[in-house]
Amino acid sequence: MEWTESLKRSIKYMEDHLMEDMGPEDVAAEVFMSPFYFQKGFKIMTGYSVGEYIRNRRLYLAALEVLSEREKIIDLAYKYGYDTPESFTKAFSRFHGAPPMQIRGSGGSIRTFLPLTITVTIQGGNKMDYVVERMESFQVIGFKKVFSFETAYGEIPKFWEEFCDRCRNGRYEEDVLRTVKDCQVGEFAISVDDMEGQKQFHYFLAGKYNGGPIPEGMEVFEVPACHWAKFRCSGPMPGALQTVNTRIFKEWLPGNPEYDIAMPINIEWYSMGDIKSADYESGIWIPVKQK
């Protein structure tokens, strides 16, 4: 399914099932996409995570019912998916700036949050710098961690900070530090959506595995053979990579006549050197298949 049509269909699905127990994986399944790529693209295109969009829509509709005064606040709390009236009041206050009873009593203003519409802007001038090439399977070694789709954007940078701090201060065992150096761990960041039915994905902070012992706390992962669209990024981190990532989902994927995403894996490649340098090289690799 074409990318922008998938997003439009996903929004319709969420609107049609807004009052049901629904998560990102359910929406992704409706449009036949991996939860990882769907949520990544949805966040970039709309500025919201899937969970944020659903919560915001529910809280807006709840506020309309608060103003109508037809139902008790406690009944609205359960109706809109909250376990307790207290948790509903807290979320409502954070979103609208006042608790339900205050808005009901004073007829105060509420925050409007209407269904999103998806549009595509055709950009001109600069073509994206990428190549598509087939790579045989290869192995990487590194550190694996499970992240939630909802919180990954904030937690992954902390994972990197911890890794860099432990390397700088020698807070790994000697065999781990040796492997990090020999295999250039940190060259790749690999996201793998292989946790079917869950709201999480595996993230590998890794380098190419050259064989030999695998130190405790590290893991080996095999990247399958595939064609990869390799997008080149040049400039200081994280801005350069974020800019290219946004362009992939807003310009390259929508309406692409040649390629679809082939599997739920995303690779970020990092060169050696000063990540704040104006000519620092990095890249984003997307697994693709011809339509």
Identify any residues that bridge with 286 across adjacent strands, giving them in sequence order: 229
Of the candidates 30, 1, 2, the residue with the CA atom closest to the CA atom of residue 15: 30
**pLDDT for the residue 104:** 86
Residue 93 one-letter amino acid: S
Residue 138 C-alpha from the chain's centroid = 24
**pLDDT for the residue 256:** 79
What is the rounded distance in angstroms from the CA atom of residue 194 to the CA atom of residue 138? 18
Structure tokens at 250: 């807003």
Of the candidates 225, 207, 224, the residue with the CA atom closest to the CA atom of residue 215: 207
What is the rounded distance in angstroms from the CA atom of residue 283 to the CA atom of residue 268? 6
Work out the number of other CB atoms within 10 angstroms of the CB of residue 282: 22
What is the rounded distance in angstroms from the CA atom of residue 25 to the CA atom of residue 34? 8
Of the candidates 21, 14, 20, the residue with the CA atom closest to the CA atom of residue 50: 14
**pLDDT for the residue 154:** 81
Strands 138-148 and 200-208, sheet pairing = antiparallel
Tell the CATH superfamily of the 130-290 domain.
Regulatory factor, effector binding domain (3.20.80.10)
**pLDDT for the residue 172:** 92
Domain coordinates in residue numbering, the chain: 3-106, 130-290
**pLDDT for the residue 32:** 87
Mean pLDDT for each 10-residue chunk of the chain (291 residues)? 81 94 88 86 88 94 90 93 94 93 82 82 61 95 92 87 92 94 96 80 95 94 96 90 87 82 93 89 93 81
**pLDDT for the residue 125:** 43
The CATH code of domain 3-106 reads: 1.10.10.60
**pLDDT for the residue 87:** 95
What is the rounded distance in angstroms from the CA atom of residue 177 to the CA atom of residue 155? 23
Work out the number of other CB atoms within 10 angstroms of the CB of residue 48: 16
**pLDDT for the residue 119:** 67
Sign of CA dihedral 76, 81, 86, 87: negative
**pLDDT for the residue 288:** 93
Alpha helices in the chain (DSSP H): 3-16, 24-30, 35-46, 50-68, 73-79, 85-96, 100-106, 152-168, 174-182, 239-247
What is the rounded distance in angstroms from the CA atom of residue 278 to the CA atom of residue 170? 29
**pLDDT for the residue 165:** 93
